[in-house]
Each structure stands twice: as structure tokens, then as C-alpha cells.
Amino acid sequence: MAQQETEQLNRILNGAALSRAVCTIAELGVADLVQSGKPQPIEYLAKASKTHEPSLYRILRFLASHGLFRETENRHFDHTPLSAALRTDAPGSFRAGAQMFHHIFAGWDGLHHSIQTGEPGFNKVFGAPIFDYIQAHPEMGPIFDAGMTSFNCHETTAMLDAYDFTGINVLADIGGGNGSLISAVLTRYPNMKGILYDLGHVGERAKEKLRAAGLAERCTVIEGSFFESIPAGADAYLFRHIIHDWTDEQCTRILGHCRKAIPANGKLLIVDCVVPPGNTSCPSKDMDMIMLTFPGGQERTEAQFRSLLKASGFELKTITPTTTMIHVVEARPA
């Protein structure tokens, strides 16, 4: 094997250290200790973050070699655009997303189990499915909500800019989490009303979000499981990053409930990645590894969406790309 391939494979293997280092730095809040243009000495950063100075220096030097932070003279560190995005007060801060993975990072140890069995590796490592684990650990709820908002914040604007929701009077956000998505849609479309449907422990957090946004009177929060039923009363049903969490069999069950609730002229909107063909590197294929290992779902190709929708009583109508990795897959009752 040539030296070039050996060195490239070595760097790929060390990618685990890179992702873990980003999660650790985010959890410790190191990025908050630096203001862009004002490099800080490693002594201060270690003391303020309560870390071992020589080790912190080595991690920051490592991150700087990948474009996160920039080492200046005398072991001082300044921000780059990537590290600045880890500040808590950064617009669209990614800190919460990295913190979320800090708490569940061990789930990656289950990837080998996933490949061997097709089961979520997270379950083997943590002893429970990821959403059950979060529900059983109340402290994880706010971390998960903030993390998902961090991951999805740019997607929401991109979705609203790409897809026209005009004509939808009542939009149901199924599995709507803390209400960030439905809040953004209702704000963009002031004549629209909303329904947010999610489990009880999630619904309480959503109500707080809607009250804070002044949208509580325009959006009804209904508690329940989409594995058991989906409420009627909307003319469009939105699933953002829900369908990709589950197997085809589970999705057919979920969408089957939606088929019973949706009116004949209603719209089904699935907001997920659509995996392109070929060998090109793309975020949707990266995300598919998370789906395989953590919840046990998958990102799907256009053909897989068509097949899934047909099995659930729907017909795929359009796929609208956005400036992010997500697409809006629109389907109608068949």
C-alpha cells in the first residue's frame, strides 16, 4: 500500500478524535472564553474552563489544524469562523448541537452492532432506544431540544424560502418537539393556524415556546404518539426529521395513521434528506450513518420515498430542494 493511502487512512481513523474534541470543547464552553480578534492565553483558557493546561493546549492546537481556533504568538488562541460558531451567543450557534452529541457520543460504539444486526447500536450501548432514554432522563430533554434546534435552525429558513405554504389554513406539525418549527411557519404566515402533536413530556416544552413567541392562541398542542394515532383537523401534515428516524415498517404505520386523518385534498409534507445517486460525498450520506446507529432509521432516495408513500396510501407529487441538505417531499392521498 502506498504511503499516500496509508496516511489518508490514518487521518480518517483519527477523525474520531476530531469529532470528540469538538464535543468536549463545546461542553466546556471554551469558545465562550474567546472573542474574535482578542486572542487569549492558554493559561487563562485552562483556568477558566477548569481543565489541564497542557492537555487543553494540545487539543486546541489539534483543532486549529482543522480550522477550529487559530493559534497566535505565545500560545494564544483566537477564533476562526468555525470555532466562533461554537460560542453560545453566536447567531445560529452550534454549541448545543455539539453538546447534545457529547452526552450521547458513546452511541457510536454501537455502529459495529448495527452493521451486524441492522439494529440501532445506541440501544446496545445505552440499554434503551434513544427516545426512550431521553424520556427516562429528564435532564436530557432540554439538551436534546436545544441540540436539534442548533442542527436545524438554518434548515427552517431554507425550507420557508424554498417551499410555498400559501393556501394551508391549518398546519399540523407531527412530532413537533419544542415548537421551534411551527413557530417559524406561523410567524411567516400570520393567517395560518397550527397543531403541534407530540408526546406529553415534549408538549409541555412546546407550550412554553409558543407562549414566549405569542403564538399560543394560534397553535393547539395535542399530546399523543404518532404510533397510535394522528389528530384530524389540519389540511396539511408536516413531518420534519421524523420519517428518517424509523424503519419502513414503522413509517408505514405512522403514515397510515396520517392517511386516516388527512382530508382528500390534503398535503403530506416530509422534510428530510433525499439521498442522491453516485459516489459524491454529501451531508445526507453522513446523516444516514447517524440514523443507522442512533434511532435505527435511514435517509432515503427518491425511489425509496415513492415506494414508502405508495405503501402508506400516498402518491409523491413534488420534491423541492433547499439551500441546505433537506428537501420538502410533497405527497397527496392516493
- What does the longest C-alpha to C-alpha distance in the chain come to? 68
Q: What is the rounded CA–CA span in Å between residue 87 and residue 98? A: 11
- CATH code of the domain occupying 148-333: 3.40.50.150
Give the residue numbers annotated as catalytic, written as ranges: 244
Task: Determine the 3-state secondary structure of 227 from DSSP.
Answer: coil
- Split at pLDDT 50, 70, 90, the class of 1 is low
Average pLDDT estimate for 245-254: 97
Render pLDDT for 181-212 as a digit per residue (tens, 0 to 9): 999 999 999 999 999 999 887 777 888 889 99
Q: The whole model's pTM is what?
A: 0.91
Please give the order of strands across the beta sheet that includes 70-71: 40-41, 76-78, 70-71
Predicted confidence at residue 152, as pLDDT, reads 82
**Looking at residue 262, what DSSP letter applies?**
S
- Split at pLDDT 50, 70, 90, the class of 141 is confident
- Give the residue with greater pLDDT, 328 vs 201: 328
Predicted confidence at residue 200, as pLDDT, reads 83
pLDDT above 70 coverage of the chain, percent: 100
Choose which CATH entry (3.40.50.11890, 1.10.10.10, 1.10.1060.10, 1.10.1740.10) describes domain 3-91: 1.10.10.10
Query: What cell numbers appear for 18 in the block?
Result: 476530531
Enumerate the domain spans of the chain: 3-91, 148-333
Residue that the C-alpha cell 433525499 belongs to: 274
